[in-house]
């Protein structure tokens, strides 16, 4: 029986020694974070582009994202819009837009304006001929102020009622990014 | 055999009476197996100095009459047991329970076996035997132990079932399997115990922290899962259970086989597999709720009375789908889910398990050695190794759904030893020592910030227990335990979080270095925990009373200290606090048990006061690019819990009986004077049974379960700004669902195929009326109803 005890003790010692690794852990290379969304609105007839940008430098940390709108929109104007998504935790920044474009059937942007300040229309289609929203048009009419909310849903039900025309109510799925911008039309 | 006993009995009664002035004392008693309390038939009880003797009957009872009022030595012997000598002093009539170490006869007496011995004498302990556990072979341990009043569960869907004992769960409920303390990331509510119910021979549930042998931090209680019993006899036996269920189109197979020899070597092995696809609520399919579970265990050993050893290995693997609709991106999605009243994703039935899902596996290796020292006691030495792997998959972008979002590897080594000093049966002492090392490795390849950091944990525990038989009707138990825990973690904090928590003021010495927008820190915490318990058991003719007091203290778990991030299914940010200290519980309890003829009553009451109860509570809202999220923070409060559990049964007719089991509990946050969250509501189960042994052991039972609405809950509702409507909306995450009533029906018959083989067939219908309901203690109650009607059938072969 003594042998058994010795054997047991030996086993314990070896396993304890083997598992004593004390290297510093490496920081996680965060894969899916979107720190920054920039919507660039270029006037159809030419002119300076307006950018709507949100950046969350601590990505999900306690600090709120910084939201900037580069300037007012002009009345009675059509703007061509594009969206760029970045993960700026990485250097150089990772372009998430490409990822969304690649999986366009699983993603859709939704645009909601208050006070009828602008109307937004989709200018792109996914593999199933349904809207994505990486490209869109913004049309202004009279002067005023309001908000524009841009939301990216992952795995929405694009065939649900109203979803393909931009109504988020029945979309389902989960929100990847969402931001409200204060808009002035003058 | 029987004839011989009768003959011996007759002889025993004809023993000559030695006439003296005070020789009319009786010595009555019962002889039981040393290990498990099985009554022993045919044991001889002889007065050493005279020819007087008696033989035990089928229930282990004996009576020696006409003894003189002087100290006597009695010799107790049995053909297959070790002979023992005890002293009695028959100043008045004496009753004694005598334990013999039983070698060979065990197998013959399986059917005679009454109650398996309890682990504790003065705690609120209930045992579920294999015949009850087998009913749950397609379900889980958490489902089975809800048979016990006062035990409920906190669920994530219907396959992740975590036991709740007297309102407490997770790190406050300790789970022992095969004498190994399960270390399986039990801090998480969505982490069900990694136990295969098919491998359990019996389960003991001990309410409160009275069982100090297992740990000093079981503020809620202890669940002890025992393997099937091994008989040291030359034999080969086994059991196979095949089950099928209609809801979820599930099936289960569980089989075990044991070979043992006189020598006394044994070998046993057990395999189970179960699978189910999407379950169904009365009105819709619960998409992606399937489960696939496989387990295997084997053990071998050598068991002599004087010494022996065992080697045990088990492997458990579970793949569990989590309701698709419960994956929400932000509060807005949560509001939509709550308001829509049914899941946002409903697809047709499938066995597929997609993200979100969990893949967990658990391995245990154990070896132990024991040696008995004559007139001294028994020494046990055990080493166990556990490896737990937990992978949680989420719906992710960029083909990452196949990469787990949580990937944890937990390794635990434990070495423990106990010495039981049992030479004096009136005062038995147990001394114990245990040492453990644990390492947690969160794999950084997930691409998601670590939920739980890398850590090393060291534990050391020492305890002394005393079990005193003050007289035949009075047992006193006392125990003290000291535990030392040290946790040495390496955690990354976002610098903004570190500052928001105020750690830059208090813990700047913990920073190792800066990496981008994060600090790598090295928090090291030591905890010293004292626990103690004392209990009293008073026996009366038809009743017994138990009083128990337990002091226990629990060091904070890694989630309470270090949590830091977004919790997807709850759409909230959860934050730990490294300032959190131990919680200390003082629990008093009392039980009353009455049993006479056809009527039985058991009442258990408790009061638990917890100082520094660790509790998670909302503190505000944080905005991220995903939207706004409520922030829940772990904090410490003082809490009290009070509850009463009752169990009444009455055999009002030879073939008919009724039973009622009810439990009532209240939990209060004494610091802010509010009710505690997640306290089970009043539950009452009534059962009407009919059994007729003449019809192949036919049993039928109708069960009615009433669960009232929890009216006492903290209001954690919050206002969230909904971007798309530009308005604030109240998010109701607090209001419990309404009361519900469920009926179920179960019947079984038993056929003897041959002398040693029998088959039991049972049929069960749960939720007979296909009632739609939601349960307060289900984390997915915002998203979907509970299961609808289910038919299940089970075949059980014993061979």
Q: What predicted TM-score, i.e. pTM, was given to this entire model?
A: 0.84
Per the CB < 8 Å rule, is A28 touching B622? no
What structural domains does chain A harbor?
Answer: 32-185 (2.60.40)
Least Cα separation, residue B338 to chain A (angstroms): 12
- Report the pLDDT value the prediction gives residue B756, as an integer from 0 to 100: 83
B402 touches chain A (CB under 8 A): no
Q: Reply yes or no on whether the pLDDT at B448 is more than 80.
A: yes
* Confidence band of A169 (pLDDT split at 50, 70, 90): confident
Residue owning tokens 């307006």 = A50
Average pLDDT (A96-110) is: 93
Residues B458-484 have pLDDT tens digits of 999 999 999 999 988 999 999 999 999
A126 touches chain B (CB under 8 A): no
What structural domains does chain B harbor?
Answer: 2-109 (2.60.40.1120), 124-224 (2.170.130.10), 225-798 (2.40.170.20)
Give the whole-angstrom CA distance, residue B727 versus residue B723.
Answer: 7
A18 touches chain B (CB under 8 A): no
Interface mutation vs chain A, best among B367, B626, B633, B720, most A CBs within 10 Å:
B626
Q: Is B83 helix (H, G, I), strand (E, B) or coil?
A: coil
Average pLDDT (B5-33) is: 61
Cα end-to-end distance, chain A, whole Å: 93
Partners of residue A168 in chain B, C-beta under 8 Å: 724
Least Cα separation, residue B186 to chain A (angstroms): 21
**Residue (of B608, B633, B631) closest to B620 by Cα position:** B631
Per the CB < 8 Å rule, is B448 touching A30? yes
Per the CB < 8 Å rule, is A151 touching B723? yes
Higher pLDDT, B471 or B706: B706
Q: What is the separation of C-alpha A153 from the centre of its chain, rounded to a whole number of angstroms?
A: 8
Q: Reply yes or no on whether the pLDDT at A11 is more than 60.
A: no
**Residue (of B460, B141, B180) closest to B310 by Cα position:** B180
Residues 259-288 of B with CB under 8 A from A: none
Interface mutation vs chain B, best among A33, A92, A178, most B CBs within 10 Å:
A178
Note the ipTM here.
Answer: 0.81
Q: Reply yes or no on whether the pLDDT at B14 is more than 50.
A: no
Q: Return phi, psi of residue B108, to 5°.
A: -65, -20
Partners of residue A24 in chain B, C-beta under 8 Å: 490, 512, 520
Least Cα separation, residue A177 to chain B (angstroms): 4
∠ CA(B223), CA(B291), CA(B450), 5° rounding?
75
Per the CB < 8 Å rule, is A25 touching B724? no
A80 touches chain B (CB under 8 A): no
Q: Reply yes or no on whether the pLDDT at B381 is more than 60.
A: yes
Interface mutation vs chain A, best among B304, B623, B624, B631, most A CBs within 10 Å:
B624
Partners of residue A113 in chain B, C-beta under 8 Å: none
The pair of structure tokens assigned to A160 is: 């649900």
Residues 84-123 of A with CB under 8 A from B: 89, 96, 99-100, 102-103, 106, 110, 112, 114
Contact partners, residue B596, CB within 8 Å, separation at least 6: B542
* Confidence band of B293 (pLDDT split at 50, 70, 90): very high
Per the CB < 8 Å rule, is B398 touching A34? no
Per the CB < 8 Å rule, is A62 touching B500? yes
Interface mutation vs chain A, best among B335, B346, B370, B397, most A CBs within 10 Å:
B397
The pair of structure tokens assigned to B386 is: 């556990």
B367 touches chain A (CB under 8 A): yes
The DSSP line for B704-722 is: EEEE----------EEEEE
Q: Reply yes or no on whether the pLDDT at B92 is more than 60.
A: yes
* Confidence band of B569 (pLDDT split at 50, 70, 90): low
Contact A177, A141 (CB under 8 A): no
Contact B226, B255 (CB under 8 A): no
Contact partners, residue B63, CB within 8 Å, separation at least 6: B26, B27, B28, B54
List strands edge to edge, sheet with B202-207: B124-129, B202-207, B221-226, B173-177, B180-181
Partners of residue A173 in chain B, C-beta under 8 Å: 329, 333
- Report the pLDDT value the prediction gives residue B83, as an integer from 0 to 100: 75
Q: Reply yes or no on whether the pLDDT at B272 is more than 60.
A: yes
Residues B653-664 have pLDDT tens digits of 999 999 999 999
Q: Reply yes or no on whether the pLDDT at B370 is more than 60.
A: yes
* Confidence band of B759 (pLDDT split at 50, 70, 90): very high
Partners of residue A96 in chain B, C-beta under 8 Å: 397
Give the whole-angstrom CA distance, residue A104 versus residue A125.
Answer: 8
Per the CB < 8 Å rule, is B495 touching A58? yes
Per the CB < 8 Å rule, is A58 touching B309? no
Helix boundaries (H) for B19-72: none
Is the torsion defined by CA of A78, A84, A88, A92 positive or negative?
A: negative
DSSP code at position B769: T
Partners of residue B524 in chain A, C-beta under 8 Å: none
Contact B631, B573 (CB under 8 A): yes
- Report the pLDDT value the prediction gives residue B630, as an integer from 0 to 100: 83
Average pLDDT (A73-86) is: 95
Give the whole-angstrom CA distance, residue B735 versus residue B714.
Answer: 9
**Residue (of B438, B236, B323, B246) closest to B785 by Cα position:** B323
- Report the pLDDT value the prediction gives residue B245, as an integer from 0 to 100: 95
Measure CB to CB from residue B329 to each of A16, A174, A179 and give the nearest one: A174
DSSP code at position B213: T
């Amino acid at each position: 029986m003594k042998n058994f005890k010795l054997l047991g003790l030996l086993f314990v010692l070896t396993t304890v020694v083997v598992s004593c690794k004390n290297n510093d852990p490496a920081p996680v290379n965060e894969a899916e974070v979107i720190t920054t969304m920039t919507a660039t609105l270029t006037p159809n007839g030419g002119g300076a582009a307006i950018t709507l940008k949100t950046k969350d430098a601590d990505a999900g940390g306690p600090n709120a994202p910084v939201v900037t709108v580069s300037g007012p929109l002009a009345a009675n104007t059509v703007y061509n819009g594009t969206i760029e998504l970045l993960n700026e935790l990485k250097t150089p920044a990772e372009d998430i837009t490409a990822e969304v474009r690649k999986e366009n059937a699983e993603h859709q942007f939704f645009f909601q304006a208050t006070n009828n300040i602008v109307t937004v229309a989709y200018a792109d289609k996914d593999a199933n001929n349904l809207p994505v929203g990486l490209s869109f048009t913004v049309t202004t009419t009279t002067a005023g102020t309001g908000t524009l909310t841009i939301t990216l849903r992952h795995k929405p039900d694009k065939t649900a009622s109203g979803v393909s025309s931009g109504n988020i109510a029945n979309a389902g799925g989960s929100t990847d990014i969402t931001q409200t911008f204060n808009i002035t039309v003058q | 055999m029987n004839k011989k006993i009768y003959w011996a009995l007759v002889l025993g009664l004809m023993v000559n009476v030695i006439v003296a002035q005070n020789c009319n004392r009786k010595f009555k008693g019962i002889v039981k197996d040393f290990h498990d309390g099985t009554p022993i038939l045919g044991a001889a009880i002889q007065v050493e100095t005279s020819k007087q003797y008696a033989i035990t009957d089928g229930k282990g009872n004996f009576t020696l009459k006409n003894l003189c009022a002087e100290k006597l030595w009695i010799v107790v012997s049995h053909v297959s047991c070790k002979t023992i000598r005890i002293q009695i002093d028959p100043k008045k009539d004496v009753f004694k329970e005598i334990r013999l170490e039983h070698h060979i006869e065990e197998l013959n007496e399986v059917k005679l076996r009454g109650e398996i011995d309890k682990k504790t004498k003065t705690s609120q302990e209930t045992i579920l035997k294999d015949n009850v556990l087998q009913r749950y072979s397609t379900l889980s341990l958490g489902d089975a132990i809800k048979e016990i009043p006062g035990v409920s569960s906190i669920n994530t869907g219907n396959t992740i079932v975590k036991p709740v004992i007297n309102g407490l769960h997770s790190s406050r409920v300790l789970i022992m399997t095969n004498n190994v303390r399960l270390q399986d990331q039990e801090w998480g509510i969505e982490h069900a115990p990694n136990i295969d119910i098919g491998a359990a021979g019996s389960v003991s549930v001990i309410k409160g922290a009275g069982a100090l042998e297992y740990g000093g931090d079981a503020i809620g209680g202890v669940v002890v899962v025992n393997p099937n019993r091994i008989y040291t006899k030359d034999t080969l036996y086994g059991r196979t259970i095949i089950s099928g269920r209609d809801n979820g189109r599930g099936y289960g197979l569980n089989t075990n086989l044991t070979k043992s020899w006189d020598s006394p070597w044994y070998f046993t092995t057990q395999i189970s597999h179960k699978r189910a696809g999407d379950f169904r609520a009365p009105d819709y399919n619960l998409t992606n709720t399937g489960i696939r579970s496989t387990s295997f265990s084997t053990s071998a050993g050598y068991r002599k009375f004087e010494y022996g050893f065992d080697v045990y290995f088990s492997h458990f693997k579970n793949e569990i789908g989590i309701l698709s609709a419960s994956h929400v991106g932000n509060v807005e999605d949560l509001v939509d889910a709550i308001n829509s009243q049914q899941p946002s994703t409903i697809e047709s039935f499938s066995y597929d398990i997609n993200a979100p899902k969990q893949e967990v596996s658990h391995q245990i290796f154990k070896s132990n050695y024991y040696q008995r020292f004559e007139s001294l006691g028994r020494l046990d030495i055990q080493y166990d190794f556990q490896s737990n792997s937990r992978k949680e998959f989420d719906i992710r972008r960029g083909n990452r759904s196949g990469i787990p979002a949580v990937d944890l590897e937990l390794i635990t080594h434990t070495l423990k030893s106990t010495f039981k000093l049992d030479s004096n049966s009136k005062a038995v002492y147990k001394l114990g020592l245990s040492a453990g090392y644990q390492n947690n490795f969160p794999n950084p390849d997930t691409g998601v910030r670590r939920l739980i950091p890398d850590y090393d944990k060291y534990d050391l525990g020492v305890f002394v227990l005393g079990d005193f038989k003050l007289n035949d009707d009075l047992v006193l138990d006392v125990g003290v335990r000291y535990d030392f825990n040290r946790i040495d973690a390496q955690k990354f904090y976002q610098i903004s979080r570190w500052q928001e928590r105020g750690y830059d003021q208090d813990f700047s010495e913990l920073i190792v270095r800066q990496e981008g927008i994060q600090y790598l820190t090295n928090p090291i915490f030591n905890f010293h925990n004292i626990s103690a318990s004392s209990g009293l058991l008073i026996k009366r003719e038809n009743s017994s009373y138990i009083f128990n007091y337990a002091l226990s203290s629990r060091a904070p778990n890694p989630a309470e200290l270090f949590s830091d991030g977004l919790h997807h299914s709850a759409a909230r940010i959860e934050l730990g606090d490294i300032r959190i200290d131990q919680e200390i519980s003082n629990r008093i309890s009392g039980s009353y048990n009455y049993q006479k003829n056809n009527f039985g009553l058991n009442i258990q009451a408790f009061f638990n006061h917890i100082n520094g109860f660790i509790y998670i509570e909302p503190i505000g809202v944080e905005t991220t690019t995903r939207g706004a999220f409520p922030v829940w923070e772990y904090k410490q409060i003082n809490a009290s819990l009070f509850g009463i559990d009752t169990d009444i049964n009455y055999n009002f007719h030879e073939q008919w009986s009724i039973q009622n089991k009810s439990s009532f509990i209240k939990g209060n946050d004494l610091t802010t004077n509010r009710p505690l969250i997640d306290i089970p509501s009043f539950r009452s189960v009534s059962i009407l049974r009919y059994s007729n042994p003449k019809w192949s052991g036919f049993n039928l039972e109708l069960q009615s379960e009433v669960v009232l609405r929890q009216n006492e809950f903290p209001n954690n509702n919050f206002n969230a700004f909904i971007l798309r409507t530009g308005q604030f909306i109240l998010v109701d995450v607090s209001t419990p669902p309404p009361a519900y009533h469920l009926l179920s029906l179960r019947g079984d018959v038993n056929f003897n195929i041959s002398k040693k083989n029998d088959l039991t067939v049972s049929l069960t219908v749960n939720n007979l009326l296909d009632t739609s309901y939601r349960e307060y203690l289900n984390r997915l109650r915002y998203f979907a109803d509970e299961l609808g009607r289910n038919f299940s059938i089970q075949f059980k072969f014993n061979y």
